[in-house]
């Protein structure tokens, strides 16, 4: 159960549509840079059944490099202002691990923060979330994007991630944050085999008592297994999204909103 804009969501899984205002994201980098492109993508997400628009201004694909803080803030500020003006009731999430970006975005009307580091890359992030009391997604990654795929050694990957979540949840509770979402971090510092082990054991993470966000859309864990590429990974994405819902996912983070909504409709019909 979690609260967005005064609405409690606990009845059905939600779909988070990806809006990357970046030049180098692995699938859609460079597609949504102008006001017109951003507005059209936001409208598409909502029209196709999306519940949340997740805006990212800095790529976090493997080997991605940081962009300057001012550049990330500028992109996010522009995008949130535009979407909030055009779609006043839209739920806006911000994909960032910088507290300064989160603060600007929230002040412009963003509703939640989606942090790939779960509060580990910026020591001010969790206090900032506590200050504004917005929903916060804690994702697991062992290292920044430029080095994360060199950090795939775990004593016990499931136990290690459970321990990480427990530690970050305690820190959030210390700042009176209770609208918490957990993201296992598929593709972030994990091998292909580890990703599928985590899918297989997703129910374990439900024991923590918080909604699970699953972001596997068109990732290499799909296209490398199928010996194809991101452009041809939609069918594999649909299969994994279906499995994720069956294993208890509460939010699907996707590029292809219409197809994810169809998965959700069929899943709910079988409950």
User: 171-230: per-residue pLDDT in tens?
Assistant: 999 999 999 999 999 999 999 999 999 999 999 999 999 999 999 999 999 999 999 999
Can you give the pLDDT at residue 26? 47
Can you give the pLDDT at residue 48? 98
43 is in which domain, residue-wise?
12-269
Is residue 177, in this structure, part of any structural domain at all? yes
Mean pLDDT, to the nearest integer, of 18-43?
77
Q: What is the pLDDT of residues 231-242, one digit of tens each?
A: 999 999 999 999
pLDDT tier at 27 (50, 70, 90 boundaries)? very low
Residue of 103, 23, 13 lying closest to 56 (CA atoms): 23
Whole-model pTM?
A: 0.93
Can you give the pLDDT at residue 146? 77
Catalytic residues: 219, 253
Residue recorded with tokens 């991101």: 230
Can you give the pLDDT at residue 103? 98
Instruction: Round to whole Å and give the CA distance between 139 and 168.
Output: 10
Measured CA distances, 214 to 16, 65, 120, 241, 251 (Å): 10, 24, 20, 8, 6
Measured CA distances, 54 to 95, 97, 117, 169, 251 (Å): 6, 13, 16, 22, 12
Mean pLDDT, to the nearest integer, of 1-6?
60
Residue 243 phi, psi dihedral angles, 5° rounding: -60, -40
Can you give the pLDDT at residue 88? 94
Can you give the pLDDT at residue 151? 80
Average confidence score pLDDT of the chain: 91
Three-state DSSP class for residue 3: strand
Report the share of the chain in percent with pLDDT over 70.
92
Q: The domain that contains 199 carries what CATH number? A: 3.20.20.20
Residue 65 has pLDDT above 90, yes or no: no
Number of domains in the chain: 1
Summarize the chain as % helix, strand, coil (round to 5): 40, 15, 40
Length of the chain, please?
Answer: 271
Residue 15 phi, psi dihedral angles, 5° rounding: -115, 125
Instruction: Round to whole Å and give the CA distance between 49 and 258.
Output: 6
Instruction: Round to whole Å and give the CA distance between 16 and 202.
Output: 19
CA atoms within 13 A on the CB side of 169: 17
Is residue 57, in this structure, part of any structural domain at all? yes
């Amino acid at each position: 159960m979690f609260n967005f804009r005064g609405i409690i969501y606990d009845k059905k899984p939600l779909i988070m549509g990806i809006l990357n205002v970046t030049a180098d994201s692995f699938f859609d980098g460079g597609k949504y840079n102008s006001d017109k492109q951003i507005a059209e993508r936001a409208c598409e997400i909502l029209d196709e059944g999306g519940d949340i628009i997740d805006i990212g201004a800095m790529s976090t694909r493997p080997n991605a490099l940081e962009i300057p803080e001012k550049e990330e803030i500028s992109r996010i500020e522009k995008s949130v202002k535009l979407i909030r003006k055009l779609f006043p009731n839209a739920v806006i999430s911000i994909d960032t691990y910088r507290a300064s970006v989160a603060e600007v975005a929230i002040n412009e009307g963003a509703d939640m923060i989606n942090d790939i580091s779960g509060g580990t890359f910026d020591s001010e992030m969790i206090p900032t979330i506590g200050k504004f009391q917005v929903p916060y997604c804690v994702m697991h990654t062992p290292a920044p994007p430029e080095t994360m795929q060199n950090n795939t050694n775990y004593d016990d990957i499931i136990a290690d991630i459970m321990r990480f979540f427990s530690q970050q949840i305690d820190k959030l509770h210390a700042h009176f944050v209770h609208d918490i979402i957990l993201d296992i971090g598929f593709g972030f510092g994990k091998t292909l085999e580890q990703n599928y082990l985590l899918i297989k054991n997703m129910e374990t993470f439900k024991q923590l008592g918080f909604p699970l966000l699953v972001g596997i859309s068109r990732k290499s864990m799909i296209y490398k297994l199928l010996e194809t590429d991101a452009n041809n990974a939609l069918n594999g994405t649909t299969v994994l999204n279906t499995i994720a819902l069956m294993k208890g996912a509460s939010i699907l983070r996707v590029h292809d909103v219409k197809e994810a909504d169809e998965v959700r409709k069929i899943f709910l019909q079988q409950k």
